[in-house]
Structure 1
Amino acid sequence: MKTSKYLFLALILAIVTTSGHAQNRNFKFGIKAGANLSRLKGGDVVSSSDPNVKIGNTNASLTGFVGGVFVRLGSSIYLQPELLLSQKGGTVNIFRSSTSSMNNSSVDLRFTNFDVPVMVGLRFGDFFRINAGPIASLRLSENGGLRQALNEVGANSVKDNYNSAALGYQAGVGVDIGNLSVDLRYEGNTSNIINADTDDANFNSQLKRKGSLWQATVGFAIF
């Protein structure tokens, strides 16, 4: 946890320092906005007292907003740090079955993050780009969906441990048309973004989840 926070602060410092020494001919500053299509993934949590009750994954994705600013340093090879407000999340599956009936429902888990990706890119010609790099995410807020999900399957109380800072990576392609930039990226986490314990004896394992998403954005270079 502490390592994630230190790296997050180091990435912000690198953005500020590098921007201050940029050459104008190889420097762009702009704004960008778009959408995330995100999912959560991880192992099932099964009730020790009733194996027919479990919390698992779904194939559903959540759509959220992403937007912020970017700096691009360089031309054919470039560095692009960004500061973004990003809505992410996913769904968990609540599965309860018996000999006579089945009940299957899902609960949305939504997060608002402050993201700092630092992309290294290659430009091919005047338009096409590829890029990849690390991303640090600082959790700003989350909904109460996880507590609701565990309560639905009989947990009396929940100890939340949402990781406030998580590490990951992004990779994708982009196209530049004048001052406009269009990007499509994939993002994955290298650390869990959810580690949730229940104090109820019926559930003797943690609910752990990593996140992944597809992100599409449109940017405009102000100068």
Structure 2
Amino acid sequence: MKNLLTITLLFSFFLANAQVQESDSLESKPAIPIDKSLYKKNKFKFSWGVRGGLSKTRVNTTSGDVIQITQSGTPLISNGSVVRDELVSNSAFGNGYQGAIFGRFISGSFYLQPEVIYGSKGGKFDFLDKNGNLLNRVDAKFTAIDVPVLLGIRFRDARIFAGPVVSYALNKNSAFETSLAPYTNENLSKDFLEKPIINGIVGLGFEFKYFFFDFRYEAGIQNYAQTTLGPSNNPKIFNFTTDQFILSIGLIK
């Protein structure tokens, strides 16, 4: 009995001493820091980039009769009748270009991308005489600064996006003034293509690390022109919108 008690006391002593040594060993090891950012599912990220591209553009005008006028704003009379021509929208696409800088605010699969674009737009429209013969085919080109704000969704290497674009028309070519002069007495150098308008953009893009390309369509929504055609007592608003297909490449950081 005495020997059994001695063995039990010795076993308890060694067990307690082992637990103390194990506790000291654990306390002596430095704690491993945890990067809590790894557990944030929707980390916010900002990127920026540049892009450039070529476009196919066209203009849309309201087809219909337009009356030539005199300097006093009255209808022009020839051979006893009012001179009426026909304005026709030409569906042919012209060539344009774009250069842009942008920022991208990313959260998970979604992003918001404001841009500043400088580029050219335009197309053609026609004036026909009363017999349907072509009087003048107007090459209607102008430059503009566009500011779109695009909302996009990313999935793997692809993305889709859409949003409004505010367009500030700048310089137009002289064809506008010479073609519209017989039909209006307004000052075309001041009262034409000055008002900012809103269009819409949809597109699809693909990214490969820092390089990307995208294809977008800009639909004309509002009228660029601020002028009227015809006699002063019965003027007709000159409707002028643009559509564009743009293919661009760029770099993003």
C-alpha contact (below 8 Å) 1:33/1:67 kept by paired residues: yes
| Pick aligned residue for 1:57 from 69, 83, 89 | 89
C-alpha contact (below 8 Å) 1:166/1:189 kept by paired residues: no
Task: Read off the aligned partner of 1:41 and give its amino acid letter.
Answer: N
C-alpha contact (below 8 Å) 1:121/1:129 kept by paired residues: yes
Aligned to 2:148: 117
Task: Read off the aligned partner of 2:55 and give its amino acid letter.
Answer: N
Q: How many residues align?
A: 194
SS at match of 1:191: coil
Aligned to 2:217: 186
Aligned to 1:17: none
The alignment-based identity, stated in percent, is 24
Task: Read off the aligned partner of 1:94 and give its amino acid letter.
Answer: F
Aligned to 1:82: 115
TM-fit CA distance, 1:148: 1.6
Task: Read off the aligned partner of 1:39 and give its amino acid letter.
Answer: R
Aligned to 1:155: 183
In structure 2, the CA distance between the partners of 1:176 and 1:204, relative to structure 1 (3 Å rule), is same
Aligned to 1:30: 49
The structure with the largest strand share of the pair is 1
In structure 2, the CA distance between the partners of 1:199 and 1:58, relative to structure 1 (3 Å rule), is closer
2:162 pairs with 1:132: yes
- How far apart are the structure 1 equivalents of 2:194 and 2:110? 34
Q: What TM-score do the two structures reach when normalised by structure 2?
A: 0.69
Task: Read off the aligned partner of 2:94 and give its amino acid letter.
Answer: L
SS at match of 1:195: coil
Indicate the structure whose relative CO is greater, using CA pairs within 8 Å and at least 6 residues apart: 1
C-alpha contact (below 8 Å) 1:97/1:103 kept by paired residues: no
CA deviations over 1:193-221 (Å, ceiling 9, x no partner): 12322465698422211111111111101
Greater displacement, 155-164 / 64-73:
155-164
Q: What TM-score do the two structures reach when normalised by structure 1?
A: 0.78
Aligned to 1:195: 226
Supply the RMSD in Å over aligned alpha carbons.
2.5
- How far apart are the structure 1 equivalents of 2:243 and 2:159? 22
C-alpha contact (below 8 Å) 2:169/2:224 kept by paired residues: no
1:33-52 equivalences in 2 (<5 Å):
33-48=52-67, 49-51=82-84
- How far apart are the structure 1 equivalents of 2:103 and 2:43? 12
C-alpha contact (below 8 Å) 2:90/2:124 kept by paired residues: yes
| Pick aligned residue for 1:169 from 189, 194, 200 | 200
| Pick aligned residue for 2:105 from 73, 77, 98 | 73
SS at match of 1:129: strand
C-alpha contact (below 8 Å) 2:104/2:113 kept by paired residues: yes
TM-fit CA distance, 1:78: 0.7
After the TM superposition, which segments of 4 or more aligned residues of structure 1 sit over 4 Å from their partners?
199-203
C-alpha contact (below 8 Å) 2:102/2:114 kept by paired residues: yes
- How far apart are the structure 2 equivalents of 1:203 and 1:93? 22
SS at match of 2:62: coil
